[in-house]
Amino acid sequence: MKNSKYQQLLVPFLKRPYFKARDARVQGIPSRMLDYFHNKGLIERMGRGIYRTLHHSLGIRFDLETLVQTATSVSRGVVCLISALCCYELTDQVMREYWIAVPNDSKSPKREHIRAVRMRNMSLGKTRIRIGKVKIDIFDRERTVVDAFRYLSHEIAIKALQAYLKISNGQKPDLPKLSRYAKMLRVNLNPYILALTT
């Protein structure tokens, strides 16, 4: 009987992309019951104290669904680099890990498949986009391209810039904005832009 009582209390959490153990405890579900539901295959443990349902669908591609669930579970996290390039279709790289920027003064999330990148400037280019039913924090296209030159290989960065400079999905490149970000982040993109646009 107790199991069904806790299962009823769990129902609202199963409608979310993820939930935290402490929120479940506040609603009267003890940690041992979360362990029980995890062992029964009702929920999946994403990391310490963070769970998601196996049956919740955000109505999007599987790789992006897992990215959304991961990104929304990281406090103050912003989707960046390879993950952002994949969202914007600016790379042919595969998202083997979920790249999340975290403030320089915060702890890195200790979870599988997360590539946490500590950054000082977390506000430049930060935006919110809707993927399926959920909004996530992500760096915009321009910040993502500039960061590619700061953190990734030149090959990946140049391909991202090349893809950015093409009009795709009705989005035109915003070169003044790109140049402004590059200047603020101390990246000299001019030689690459000249080479790709002449």
The structure's pTM equals 0.73
Q: Which of 14, 35, 53 is the last residue of a domain?
A: 53
Which tokens belong to 6?
């806790």
* Amino acid 117: pLDDT: 94
**Same domain, yes or no: 46 and 69:** no
Q: How many domains does the chain fold into?
A: 2
pLDDT on residue 68:
79
Kindly state whether residues 169 and 187 are assigned to the same domain.
yes
pLDDT of residue 55: 59
pLDDT at position 161: 96
Query: Are residues 89 and 27 part of one domain?
Result: no
Residues 79 and 44 in one domain: no
pLDDT averaged per 10 residues in sequence order, the chain, 198 residues: 74 79 88 86 78 63 72 88 94 90 85 88 94 87 98 96 86 94 96 88
Residues 169 and 140 in one domain: yes
Q: How far apart are CA 53 and CA 11, in angstroms?
A: 10
31: left (phi over 0), alpha (psi -120 to 50) or beta: alpha
Q: Give the domain extent around 22.
A: 2-53
Q: Is 39 found in the same domain as 103? A: no
What is the C-alpha to C-alpha distance for residues 130 and 82, in angstroms, rounded to an integer?
18
68 shares its domain with 49: no
Residues 114 and 185 in one domain: yes
Q: Residues 83, 16: one domain? A: no
pLDDT confidence of residue 1: 41
Q: Same structural domain for residues 94 and 43?
A: no
